[in-house]
Amino acid sequence: MFRRKRKRTVSLEMDDFAIRALVDTTGDLSMATVHEVVLKPGVIVDEEVKDELALFDTLKTFVKEWNISKSDVRFFTPDHSVMMRAFTHPDDVATEELKAYVEMEIGQTIHLPFDDPLIDVYDHVPDDGEAVLFAAPSDEIYKAMQLFEDVGLHPTILDVRTLSNIRFLKHTSFFKESRTYLLIDWSIHAAALSIYTDGNVEFLRYQPTENPSRSWRYSMDKGYTYEEDIEEYRQTLINHLFEIERILNFYRFSLNKGEESVDDIVMMGDNPEMTFIVEQLKTVIDLPVHVIDDVYVQRDFPQFEAKHAALIGLALRGRHPNNGTRH
């Protein structure tokens, strides 16, 4: 008997500084490889493609160099465009029917602030009459899908970075029962916050950084370098911390009437000022702070770094139902 060759799967992310691709040819992530190419300044700005031709040329070159042509590609919706909304549904609507139900109810009982949305539904407890909707405007996403197709890739899965981070943490057995976590994914230009407890995403917020990412430069050998006074950028990070404190109080007192609160803070992402952020956070908020660093990631995935955690979570989608990888 001949075995059909497994199709190569690429989990891909693009930001203002680089394109990263996790390439899986075997189905075993311990055998997967990761590639990275630095983007010229201005190609992508604050998660929006500004120079489509330059991005096309870059992708075309590295699709060939990385030998990923005709691969299935999965990617993230831009963090700034994602909104989350809890909703109720009739008891006779099964989990696998929820997406169709939401599509039918948009504009009727479910209202979104943009037209033609792309949606996904997270049903933590099946048959309880409640679920969570994730939605994003489609324009930028369709543009990215067309770009991938133009360079010989086949877009198959779109995911929310927060859900990929959660999937990674579940896979590595980070979460404990009956504890509530504030997850913060720190990039150069923003902090993406979510509150997660016992399998359920309860809150989602995107906080852009006031200081523009255009003052930063990135290279694979030196990492991130800041071209101006770093103290100016650090002040914008401190502003974030006071907003985080307000969010924690809002969650505890406004959403839960003082009966529930966050137990732990989890820090993820590739912001080069992570050490500074953690030090300052501990002076403002009296909660345990856990940093998902290279050491943590490499316990399960030795060939990857902390900056690859969301990509690993994206690659895990659909592999382990017991780890909640529907999303």
pLDDT, tens digit, 9 for 90 and up, residues 17-41: 999 999 999 989 999 999 999 999 9
What is the Cα–Cα distance from 19 to 55, expressed in whole angstroms? 10
**What percentage of the chain carries pLDDT values higher than 90?**
80
Decide if 165 contacts 192 (C-beta within 8 A): no
Task: For residues 109 and 198, state if they share a domain.
Answer: no
What is the C-alpha radius of gyration for the chain, rounded to an integer number of angstroms? 20
pLDDT at 46: 85
Residue 212: the pLDDT is: 62
Residue 270 one-letter amino acid: D
| Calpha distance 37→68 (Å, rounded) | 14
- pLDDT reported for residue 258: 86
**pLDDT at position 318:** 86
* Domain presence at residue 73: no
Tell me, yes or no, whether 180 lies in a domain.
yes
Average pLDDT of the chain is 91
pLDDT at position 324 over 60: no
Pick from 2-16, 96-110, 139-153: least confident: 2-16
The answer as to whether 13 is a domain residue is no
Q: Are residues 197 and 272 in the same domain?
A: yes
The residues, any chain, with a CB within 8 Å of residue 211's CB and separated by 6 or more, are 232, 233, 236
Could you tell me if 126 and 183 lie in one domain?
Answer: no
Query: Is residue 133 within 8 Å of 112, Cβ to Cβ?
Result: no
Q: Tell which residue, 24, 11, 22, 322, has the closest CA to residue 173.
A: 322
CA distance readout (Å), 91 to 3, 98, 123, 128: 43, 11, 13, 7
Six-digit token string for 198 = 């016992």
User: pLDDT tens digits, residue range 62-101?
Assistant: 999 999 999 999 999 999 999 999 999 998 999 999 999 9
Q: Which residues pair with 135 in a beta bridge?
A: 83, 119
Please answer whether residues 316 and 30 qualify as being in contact, where contact means their C-beta atoms are separated by less than 8 angstroms: no
Closest by CA position to 277, among listed 204, 212, 184: 184
Between CA 17 and CA 37 the distance in angstroms is 9
* 197 within some domain: yes
Which residue shows structure tokens 């700005």?
A: 45
In this prediction, residue 326 carries a pLDDT of 38
179 shares its domain with 287: yes
pLDDT value at position 285? 95
On the question of pLDDT at 205 being above 70, the answer is: yes
Check pLDDT > 60 for residue 185. Answer: yes
Query: What's residue 123's pLDDT?
Result: 87
245 is a domain residue = yes
| C-alpha closest to that of 269 among 51, 2, 79 | 79
pLDDT at 2: 36
Q: pTM value?
A: 0.92
221 has pLDDT over 60: yes
Q: What is the 3-state secondary structure (H, E, C) of 76-120?
A: ECCHHHCEEEEEECCCCCCHHHHHHHHHHHECCCECCCCCCEEEE
Quick one: which of 33, 39, 77, 78 has its CA closest to 58?
Answer: 39
Same domain, 280 and 192: yes
Residue 103: predicted pLDDT: 94
Both 206 and 102 in one domain: the answer is: no
Domain membership of residue 9 (yes or no) is: no
Question: Does residue 285 contact residue 245 with C-beta atoms inside 8 Å?
Answer: yes
Mean pLDDT of 186-196: 95
Q: How far apart are CA 94 and CA 112, in angstroms?
A: 23
Determine the length of the chain.
327
Rounded CA-CA distance 212/81 in Å is 18
Residue 321 has pLDDT above 50, yes or no: no
Q: Please check whether residues 128 and 192 belong to one and the same domain.
A: no
Q: Is residue 264 included in any domain, yes or no?
A: yes
> Between 2 and 11, where is the model more confident?
11
Q: Are 193 and 204 in contact (CB under 8 A)?
A: yes
Within a domain: residue 129?
yes
The stretch 283-287 carries a mean pLDDT of: 95
Q: Rounded mean pLDDT of 14-19?
A: 95
Residue that has been written with the tokens 């792309």 in this structure: 118
Residue 118 has pLDDT above 80, yes or no: yes
**Looking at the 3D structure of the chain, how many domains does it have?**
2
CA-based torsion, 307, 312, 315, 321: positive or negative: negative
Together in a domain, 218 and 125: no
State whether 117 and 210 are in the same domain.
no
Q: Are residues 197 and 90 in the same domain?
A: no
Contact, 194 vs 268, CB < 8 A?
A: no
Query: Domain of 283?
Result: 175-291
